[in-house]
Amino acid sequence: MADNGAPNQDGIPQRPKRSIPDGLWMRCDRCEQMVYRSNVEKNLYVCPECGYHFRIGADQRIRYLADEGTFEQVMADLTSSDPLGFKSRGVSYKERLEAEQQRSGQKEAMVIGKAFIKGRPAVLAVMEPNFLMGSMGCVVGEKFCLAVEMATEGHLPLVAVCCSGGARMHEGVVSLAQMAKTAAALARFSQEGGLYICLLTDPTTGGVTASFAMLGDIIIAEPGAMIGFAGPRTIAQTIKVELPEGFQTAEFMLQHGFIDMIVHRKDQRSEIARLIDYFQR
């Protein structure tokens, strides 16, 4: 193969081939179009062709919601124990946690702290989908309850961003107990007159949906997000019926009264600030 403009075997000069930098393009999971990664990044990781909202990590989510430089994280080093000595395919839970920490850059599947949202002080509890698919174990439950306490003590609104595959099987009943624990914390928060705004992203499922994700005073969802307890395929196989089109999408949930509004990612910061102003008048 000729390169650098050298002639081929017939003596004809060849145009040098240009290499395409890795990561320049990315494929949209919905429309399957190839789009410039830089355009997607500028568009807050929303496909410029079809509006598909890509899944993003906790750090990006916080940058999009909080005023620059205002987020103050707490309990950043809290990590899970291994109460069951759980192993799967020869890999221990401890080893899996270490691998997830390396891959995601987070210690656990939730990040909490105080921040300002367009000048309004608030407490943020943001799930990390890149850490065991945002599954809820004892640390996620503990961090969420601490965020509720911070909001209560500071008389601040609590804003949660959910993205989860459900309760974490690696911790067994300890994980399931977080459903009741977080719901009880929110009940006390409500009795104190606290404002809880919950943003559901794709996917929000399992024990998180069955607990703190659906207990918001206002429940917002991103367009197209899957929201439910069990997945649609599991439900269809269990009850042996054909599910309606769009079942468990944010649009379906809005139509049936399970959420309050669907908000594009570019508008979420302004909308949350508006809600804080409205409810705290």
Give the sheet arrangement for strand 120-127, strand by strand. Answer: 72-74, 110-117, 120-127, 158-164, 196-204, 218-221, 261-262
Evaluate whether 261 touches 254 at the Cβ level (below 8 Å).
yes
* Domain limits, the chain: 23-54, 56-279
Of the ranges 86-90, 129-133, 189-193, which one carries the lowest mean pLDDT score? 86-90
Higher pLDDT, 74 or 21: 74
What is the reported pTM?
A: 0.90
pLDDT at residue 12 is higher than 80: no
In 3-state terms, what secondary structure has residue 89?
coil
Angle at 64 between CA 59 and CA 68, to 5 degrees: 85
pLDDT at residue 106 is higher than 50: yes
Confidence of residue 1 (pLDDT cuts 50, 70, 90): very low
User: What pLDDT, on the 0 to 100 scale, is given for residue 7?
Assistant: 64
Where in 39-84 does DSSP place strands (E)? 72-74
- The pLDDT tens digits of the residues spanning 191-214 come to 999 999 999 999 999 999 999 999
- The pLDDT tens digits of the residues spanning 19-41 come to 556 679 999 999 999 999 999 99
Angle at 216 between CA 261 and CA 118, to 5 degrees: 70
Beta bridge partners of 73: 113
User: What pLDDT, on the 0 to 100 scale, is given for residue 281?
Assistant: 75
User: What pLDDT, on the 0 to 100 scale, is given for residue 236?
Assistant: 87
pLDDT at residue 4 is higher than 90: no
CATH of 56-279, one of 3.40.50.700, 3.20.20.100, 3.10.20.740, 3.90.226.10: 3.90.226.10
Evaluate whether 37 touches 26 at the Cβ level (below 8 Å).
yes
Q: How far apart are the first and last CA of the chain?
A: 72
What is the arithmetic mean of pLDDT over 146-167?
Answer: 97
User: What pLDDT, on the 0 to 100 scale, is given for residue 2?
Assistant: 46
